[in-house]
Chain A
Amino acid sequence: MPVLEEPIREKLVLKNYVGGEWVESEGELQDIINPGTCKVIAKVPFSTEAEVNEAVKVAKKAYPEWRKTTPLARARCLFRLKEALEENFEELSRIQTMEHGKTIDESRGETRRGIESVEVAAGIPSLMMGYNLEDIASGIDEYVIPQPLGVFCCIPAFNFPFMVPLWFAPYAVATGNCIVIKPSPRDPISQVRIAELVDEAGFPPGVWNVVHGGAEVASVLLEHPDMEGVTFVGSTKVAKEVYKKCGQTGKRVIAQGGAKNFMLVMPDADLEKTVSALMTSFFGNTGQRCLSGANAIVAGGDDRFYRRFVDTFVNTTSRIKVGYGLDESIQMGPLQSEQAKERVLGFIEKGIKEGAKLLLDGRRISISGNYPLTSFLNPTVFEDVSAGMTIAKEEIFGPVANIMRTEDFDEAIEIIHSSCYGNAASIFTSSGKSAREFQYRVRCGNIGVNVGIAAPMAFFPFSGMKDSFFGVLHGQGREAIRFFTESKVVIQRWW
């Protein structure tokens, strides 16, 4: 199968986008490696403290004028950005495959999701309306005006290099704030390309900024006194730290952490469709997403159903075609880096050591095409996994599926609740009663019913509970509008 043309043909040296200018950083450079081919495709700088401070300063300076820009005019900037993103849809998608490793279908899906956030935020004249009540006392009216706050920053994870910053940035700027984005240093090219299109779309200088770097840059942003709020997506450990730090410094925060998502399969589920849906859930994005399935629980004492499920699951998984994501026939790409692969390998070892039964060993790597195996793994399936095992408790962030079994629905719910995470959970069933019960009882932010990836659309909040989320308001939709604005209440009387 021929491989799609790569949009990045020469090694890029990335720059910061600050105040509408592309600024070279004096910080150290790090290679960006295409995990599929192992070729260096770019170099990313680790910006200095002074450079980060400058970005915040520029954003703060741009804020008063941007705030005064009418919501309609701000929306028009977003409409132009949306058009630019559509025009460059394919290039943007292929860049994601090159820098992250995901398949081209997955990248296009990510591009679409990102664009949807821009579309929703473009509805800001309606979304940002306040509310009022006449005569709260005779002759006195009261109303609420949502107002922007100033400068926000966005610190996203590496697993969705295009989409995650767009869960926040379009809403931040639509509401009249300015934003500083620090992309993951592992795959920052998508955000550079978006900033180029932001520039073309005519956003005023300083409204949308990108500074590159790692944890040090994130710390500067977090502690900056002019930073009004922070959005973060990453591990639970760091999300907790971000949340704590924001509490100490009085910043509002959306901090999305890790996950360990359960897929409950009831004996009345449609087996074929369930297994197909679970393939995307467990192995889509090579298992590197916070909505991925991690533990499949088969409930009920029906041995025949259980065996059929396991056999079908393993058989379907074993046929997944692994390789470079720009080959259209590929169903699963590499891990994002060699280190990520090493981490997953460690979990597989642990699973074996703790007594789980290895049904499919992803360490036996077999890929399509002639590429270095550095970051590749094939899917792994474990059976006889118990809730106490490390592989059942900790986030692996890789293509590993654990199959568990419970007596009944109630025991399954107990196991789900024993997890410290509460990002997503799905049930596969043909019973409305079971589905309703699941939705009602399970303490997870995003629930799927016969859906393996319960990913909220841009006009709904991306929820999360327990150790998967720290904060009050979530990203996307109306909650994002609320997050990026403060409610000013006016009580008015005229004599």
Chain B
Amino acid sequence: MQLTTASQVVNFARELEGKSAKLYEDLAQVYEENREAFLSLARENKKNKLRVQRVYTEVISDALETGFSFEGLNPEDYSIRTELIENNSYFDRIEIVTDAEEKIQEFYLEAAKQSKSFLTDISRAFEMMAKKRVERRLKLRSLQGTISCQEEDDLLREESG
């Protein structure tokens, strides 16, 4: 099923933020040494969730094309894991949340592109959310302890571009 209405897309965005927050809260419980870093990511997820909701309810109007702004987004293309896999290594678990961040970024970028003509404020908020993902992935890489200079340069280039 494709997401075509603003209500659906915004709700899906909130769902993704919620699922992502839960993953970080789970990680925080397991890895005491990085607890604060994971909790801070979860807190940011919750802020994003609120922000997306707020942008939607504050700009929506009876005259805007809320039912017809999105060509369609397939939620399956952006599904993310909701639980940590038992017996996985720390490294693999960070890989999972990094993948989730990438998926969420892809979702926001596509949703921003589709809503650009009619729901400009929502589109801008989505773009901002996508941008944040770059910073978050950088943070995750540093938490993983495997970040190379080249990767960091690439990510930073992506962020500024």
Contact = CB atoms under 8 A, between A and B. Distances in A.
Whether A and B are associated in the same complex: the answer reads yes
Interface of A: 1, 89, 103-106, 108-110, 112-113, 160, 163, 273, 276-277, 279-280, 284-285, 289, 291, 316, 321, 328-332, 451-455
Interface stretch (B24-32, B56-64, B94-102): B56-64
B118 A284 contact: no
Contacts of B3: 329
Given A104-B7, A273-B117, A280 B61 contact: no
Contacts of B59: 112
A108 B5 contact: no
Interface of B: 1, 3-8, 11, 56-69, 117-118
Contacts of A332: 67
Contacts of B117: 273, 276
B67 A279 contact: yes
Given A106-B62, A110-B62, A330 B5 contact: yes
Given A108-B7, A109-B63, A331 B68 contact: yes
Nearest to B8: A328
B57 A453 contact: no
Contacts of A110: 62
A332 B68 CA distance: 10
9 contacts: A103-B67, A105-B66, A109-B62, A110-B62, A160-B62, A276-B117, A280-B67, A280-B68, A285-B62
B65 A329 contact: no
B41 to A, nearest CB: 27
Contacts of B4: 321, 329, 331
Contacts of B67: 103, 105-106, 279-280, 284, 330-332
A113 B4 CA distance: 23
B51 to A, nearest CB: 16
A109 B65 contact: no
B63 A105 contact: no
Given A1-B1, A276-B117, 7 more contacts: A108-B66, A112-B59, A113-B61, A277-B118, A316-B68, A330-B67, A451-B63
A276 B61 contact: no
A84 to B, nearest CB: 15
Select the residue from B59, B66, B67 with max chain A CB neighbours within 10 A.
B67
Instruction: Enumerate the 7 nearest inter-chain pairs by beta-carbon distance, A residue then B residue, closest first.
Output: A453-B63, A105-B66, A109-B62, A455-B63, A331-B67, A279-B68, A328-B7
B8 A112 contact: no
A289 B65 CA distance: 15
Contacts of B69: 276
B61 A109 contact: yes
A112 B59 CA distance: 8
A328 B4 CA distance: 9
B58 A112 contact: yes
A328 B5 contact: yes
